Amino acid sequence: MNDSSIREKPVPNPPPHVVLLGAGASRATFPSGDKNGRKLPLMDELPCVLGEIWNELVTATQVPKGDFESQYSWIKSKSGYVEELEAVERRIKQYFEEMELPDHPTIYDYLVLGLRSSDVIGTFNWDPLLLQAHERNRGVCKLPDLRFLHGCVSYTTCIEHDVLGSEGQVCPVCHKKLTTGHLIYPEADKDYARDSFIKRDWDLVQKAVEHSFHLTVFGYRAPKTDYNARQILLDAWGDEESRGLSHVELIDIASPDHLSDNWRAFIPFGHMMHEIDFFDSSIARWPRRTFEWKRNASFYGLPSKDVGICKTKSLQELQDWFRELGELENAEGQS
């Protein structure tokens, strides 16, 4: 087995590489904001987006000091503030709906192009930018499955036929207009089974994690209000004995010590990879070939040269580069 085989002879039907995205991924992808400079707020920065709507609500409720998630959850637990919280939610949704992907390549383009159709991206982010990247690259090669674990402002779907689309589109199977999904806000005890779309996506991600060979967590730190999410993922990941050859990859600017403490239960035998920069990650170094790299290293003890990545400011050039990798997969008869 040689390094060229990784690029030229991809393994048919590999087990899934699962990627979990948090707010830190959107911030890393768009440090200067979206196409129009609109900032990607982290959860604790949402009060700045909400302005007086939030300030007045905090004053009226005399909510205890804390971050946005804890304060929102506290107010939600009280009666008499339904209309005020609906106004908060409308403002958040409007803010994210107006976001646009820049014309040049972004990390999200590299991400969706760097994974195969057997792979799954589960995102906790509300913004529409990952979906926009997926949509504009669909004709290049077969892309990973997207699942929205807290909803998405531009996410539409057919619950019966599991079709992913955007506003105004119809299901190609039943020809019914796609239904808009809902957002899951930061309540202390999130009930993912309450929304049929969210539950469907969680079920699929859980199954993918269970069968995955590699888990990449990009900018997601599993906050306390995501206890249920963390437990669902951990149950699917399984115990340490069953994960002896697995790796958890964390892409995050936080320190390795902090991250390993937060994700200790997921890390088999200390097999953790930590990168600050996405372009140092397995997806960037071995795009569309992460399973082949991992198989060579774990089963054969063979290091693999990087497939390389096309660093360019031209979206067309990036798409042409990935189209070649996709054609090699088609030659090998991959679905």
Q: Give me the mean pLDDT over the 264-275 stretch.
A: 71
Q: Give me the mean pLDDT over the 151-156 stretch.
A: 89
Check whether 137 has a pLDDT greater than 50. Answer: yes
Among 95, 87, 218, 84, CA closest to 154: 95
3-state helix, strand, coil in the chain (%, to 5): 45, 10, 45
Query: To the nearest whole number, what is the mean pLDDT of the chain?
Result: 86
Spell out the residues 6+ positions from residue 329 whose beta carbon is closer than 8 angstroms to its own. 10, 116, 141, 142, 288
Q: What is the pLDDT of residues 30-67, one digit of tens each?
A: 999 999 999 999 888 999 999 999 999 999 999 999 88
What is the predicted pLDDT for the residue at 93? 93
What is the predicted pLDDT for the residue at 29? 94
> Which tokens hold the place of 229?
């999410």
What is the predicted pLDDT for the residue at 22? 92
What is the predicted pLDDT for the residue at 214? 86
Separation of alpha carbons 236 and 156, rounded Å: 26
Q: What is the pLDDT of residues 210-254, one digit of tens each?
A: 888 888 999 987 766 677 787 888 787 776 555 555 678 889 988
Band of pLDDT at residue 3, cut at 50, 70 and 90: low
What is the predicted pLDDT for the residue at 244? 56
Q: What is the pLDDT of residues 187-212, one digit of tens each?
A: 777 778 788 888 999 999 999 998 88
Half-sphere exposure of 192 (CA within 13 A, CB side): 23
Among 201-205, 268-272, 274-278, which stretch is predicted with the lowest mean pLDDT? 268-272
Separation of alpha carbons 304 and 289, rounded Å: 11
Check whether 116 has a pLDDT greater than 70. Answer: yes
Separation of alpha carbons 84 and 233, rounded Å: 33
Q: Give me the mean pLDDT over the 78-93 stretch.
A: 92
Check whether 159 has a pLDDT greater than 70. Answer: yes
State the chain's maximal CA–CA distance in angstroms: 67
Separation of alpha carbons 226 and 268, rounded Å: 22
Separation of alpha carbons 143 and 130, rounded Å: 12
Check whether 270 has a pLDDT greater than 80. Answer: no
Question: Using alpha carbons only, how large is the chain's radius of gyration in Å?
Answer: 20
Percent of the chain's residues with pLDDT above 90:
50
Band of pLDDT at residue 274, cut at 50, 70 and 90: confident
294 or 171, which is more confident? 171
Q: Give me the mean pLDDT over the 85-106 stretch.
A: 95
Q: Give me the mean pLDDT over the 170-196 stretch.
A: 84
Check whether 148 has a pLDDT greater than 60. Answer: yes
What is the predicted pLDDT for the residue at 288? 94
What is the predicted pLDDT for the residue at 1? 42
What is the predicted pLDDT for the residue at 162? 87
What is the predicted pLDDT for the residue at 5? 62
What is the predicted pLDDT for the residue at 100? 96
125 or 335, which is more confident? 125
Among 53-57, 277-281, 306-310, which stretch is predicted with the lowest mean pLDDT? 306-310
